[in-house]
Structure 1
Amino acid sequence: MTENDLLYTLALQNVPNIGDIIAKRLMSHCGSAEAVLKEKKQNLLKIDGIGSVILNNLFKADYLKAAEKEIDFIKENKIKVSFFMEDIYPERLKHCIDSPILLFETGNIKLEQQHVISIVGARKITTSGIAFCESLVEALLPYNPVIISGFAYGTDITAHKAAIKNNLQTIGCLAHGLNQIYPKSHKKYMVDVEKNGGFFTDFWSSDTFDRNNFLKRNRIIAGLSEATIVIESAEKGGSLVTADIAHSYNRDVFAVPGRTTDSQSIGCNNLIKQQKAHMLTTPLDIPYILNWKLEDNKKPVIQKQLFVELDATEKIIYNYLKENEKQQLDVIAINCNLPVFKVAGVLLSMELKGVIMPLPGKLFEII
């Protein structure tokens, strides 16, 4: 994209009443953002769905001046910009009707040939929610997924930190321009996120910070991902908006169920009840439903290994399976007095060590 193309596309992006869907329609008709801004108004009014209210501000010179200023900011801060029709634009996001016409990026983001999931949930995440999120990311490590979230309080930052801990790529989708960070207390995580991934936004440096930005930001979180996972949610919340958007994009949604009396489980339980989400009780549900395959060099050795060191939890499960032969994951968890999400991660670790092997029906047995 040339600087001239960027100038006019930025100007078009900044015009009130012209969102991404209308902007794409105008560019498709005229050929480019520059052609749109130089076209006669009466010709644009002939386009289906385009009225005088939408075009009211289109030809004001102020937007080109603002675009010039934003280009200066982009250059000074070495921000990467991708246009929705370019190859460098995230492939999954291209297929979303309301995806940004321009996406701004910092860091070292690589999405090609990668499993990409978003993890969202309550800002006031519970202790068990944190434990599940951390175990989930750790258990998925062999599949090398990219972890997307919103860099906000609670579930978001828990997911980012878990990804960093496991040396997985993680991407924060921001509800503001790249000249600031919210919340300010998360500034200390920015360097690690950019080393392990980076940040996306479609907001300008001049955009006013607003609560409604979070709802707009959520379409990017959902659009980038092949699946969205809701860890916890009250009856209403931003994570449910993200889940609804992902569902509208025909992407998989997973929700962690909880007790009906737990306020932070109401949203997840409702998603499952409304058949908008798969019930997520173990991390292994994700690769199973999404049909992820392990790379050859990460597949477990299907033969009994000698002198394998097992930790305390692995020994409990090993001894149980030794006495009871093949068993289902849930049964193992109940009889070993361990949480299901913990057992799932341990079983995957034991599988990679060549100690056990999975069987159809979520059964496991000693090799």
Structure 2
Amino acid sequence: MSLIHKIALTLIDSVGHVHAKQLVEHFGSAEAVFSASFGALMEIPGIGKVTAGNIIKTDALRRAEEQLHFIEKHQVKVLFYTDDDYPHRLRHCYDAPMVLYYKGGADLNRQRIISVVGTRRATEYGRQLCRHLAETLQPYGVTIVSGMAYGIDIAAHKESLNFNIPTVGVLAHGLDRIYPPAHLPVARQMVSEGGLLTEFPLNTAPDKENFPKRNRIIAGLADATIVVEAIAKGGALITADIASSYSRDVFAFPGRTGDKSSEGCNFLIKTNRAGLITHAQDIPYYMGWEKEQVHAAALQIQLPVGLSDEEQRVVDVLRAGPARVDELALRTGIQQSQLAMHLLNLEIQGVLIALPGSLYQLAG
């Protein structure tokens, strides 16, 4: 598909990511959407007269040319949701962006990715926890994602850089600016040692309504979201809720009772919305990362006869090492509802074992 048409599709008024994907799936390509007739558009469920009219009359292709000029000049990578290098964890989220703009070299499909979020008014306690997290998780080959905001976000990015951990900042605006501007030096370093990612095109300002949208990408990119410090109401709790809705793990560090900077964390733990962590080493344990043994024994296990073709595909993927459910679904091509049945059956037969963090590995 043509890159300009992919970008233009996201620039049409009243066409969000869900409808954009629906249009591409119906017509077969982004180009075909722009050549569709009003009548053909009206046949698609959910596409009313206003949206169909906006598609017919749009000047999105002209505006997409401006985006392309910036993209080529600044070596920005455009990730379309059907591309192999589009973040596969995010692709499984129903409201994932159709297009992402990315500048950097960090692998967005790395085996281990966590998000770190928290209050913009971080205390020394919160900043120390960010350093503790980075120092502890560095040997596990993680990538750390956050939102480039003041407080816990920027502390997580800085400490990641200090410990040579790739770190990705998810922006609530276009790549033609950095907000807040004070974080520009960190952003420049992140481009060479991590990356900057956004769904927003050029000339998009960091408006208030963009931050919740940004938060869903932070949650969707990662295996788990860690809340370091959070007030009772704020973006960190929104991100935690979104991560839970995506069936991702959520963890929180507790704080002292009465400490406003930890009210949100304590609330998440108290209401069972987040797992309690008191040490950064809890993360590898809960995620099953301590199971770093050589899998030679697993390769030699005696598998029961009579495995179905789909069960055998699951086993073949797990021969390479532990994998999460979403990764198994992607690599086997099996729908998650059917995959859940196969995983249960294989676990009952003793072929595989379930680890913390929705992770599975071969028994042996």
- Tell me which residue corresponds to 2:52: 55
Is 1:42 aligned to residue 39 of structure 2? yes
**What is the CA–CA distance in structure 2 between the aligned matches of 1:258 and 1:53, rounded to whole Å?**
50
**What is the CA–CA distance in structure 2 between the aligned matches of 1:66 and 1:113, rounded to whole Å?**
33
Identify the match of residue 258 of structure 2 among 261, 274, 287.
261
Aligned-partner residue type, residue 212 of structure 1: E
**What is the CA–CA distance in structure 2 between the aligned matches of 1:153 and 1:113, rounded to whole Å?**
26
Aligned-partner residue type, residue 272 of structure 2: Q
1:86-125 matches, within 5 Å, as 86-125=83-122
Aligned-partner residue type, residue 95 of structure 1: H
Aligned-partner residue type, residue 263 of structure 1: K
Aligned-partner residue type, residue 171 of structure 2: L
- Tell me which residue corresponds to 1:76: 73
- Tell me which residue corresponds to 1:144: 141
* SS of the residue 1:232 aligns to: coil
Q: Extract structure 1 runs of 4+ deviating beyond 3 A.
A: 293-297
Deviations along 1:79-127, whole A, 9 cap, x unmatched? 1111100101111111111111111111112134431000000000011
- Tell me which residue corresponds to 2:17: 20
Aligned-partner residue type, residue 159 of structure 2: A
Question: Highest CA radius of gyration, 1 or 2?
Answer: 1
**What is the CA–CA distance in structure 2 between the aligned matches of 1:282 and 1:208, rounded to whole Å?**
38
**What is the CA–CA distance in structure 2 between the aligned matches of 1:89 and 1:233, rounded to whole Å?**
30
Q: 1:206 offset after TM fit, Å?
A: 2.2
**What is the CA–CA distance in structure 2 between the aligned matches of 1:179 and 1:294, rounded to whole Å?**
42
**What is the CA–CA distance in structure 1 between the aligned matches of 2:10 and 2:135, rounded to whole Å?**
39
Label 1:294 to 1:142 Cα distance change in 2 as closer, same or farther (>3 A): farther
* SS of the residue 1:133 aligns to: helix
- Tell me which residue corresponds to 1:273: 270
Identify the match of residue 283 of structure 2 among 264, 281, 286.
286
**What is the CA–CA distance in structure 1 between the aligned matches of 2:232 and 2:53, rounded to whole Å?**
39
**What is the CA–CA distance in structure 2 between the aligned matches of 1:293 and 1:113, rounded to whole Å?**
17
Deviations along 1:193-238, whole A, 9 cap, x unmatched? 1121111111111223311111111111111100001111111101
Label 1:181 to 1:108 Cα distance change in 2 as closer, same or farther (>3 A): same
Moved more, 34-43 or 49-58: 49-58
Q: Tell me the TM-score normalized by structure 2.
A: 0.78
- Tell me which residue corresponds to 1:247: 244
Q: 1:56 offset after TM fit, Å?
A: 3.4
Q: How many residues align?
A: 294
Deviations along 1:135-194, whole A, 9 cap, x unmatched? 111111110210100111000110001101101111111111111111111111123211
Contact 1:142 1:294 in 2 (8 A): no
**What is the CA–CA distance in structure 1 between the aligned matches of 2:212 and 2:92, rounded to whole Å?**
19
* SS of the residue 1:57 aligns to: helix
Aligned-partner residue type, residue 247 of structure 2: N
Deviations along 1:56-96, whole A, 9 cap, x unmatched? 31122421110111111111111111110010111111111
* SS of the residue 2:200 aligns to: coil
Q: Tell me the TM-score normalized by structure 1.
A: 0.77
**What is the CA–CA distance in structure 2 between the aligned matches of 1:245 and 1:96, rounded to whole Å?**
10
Q: 1:273 offset after TM fit, Å?
A: 2.3
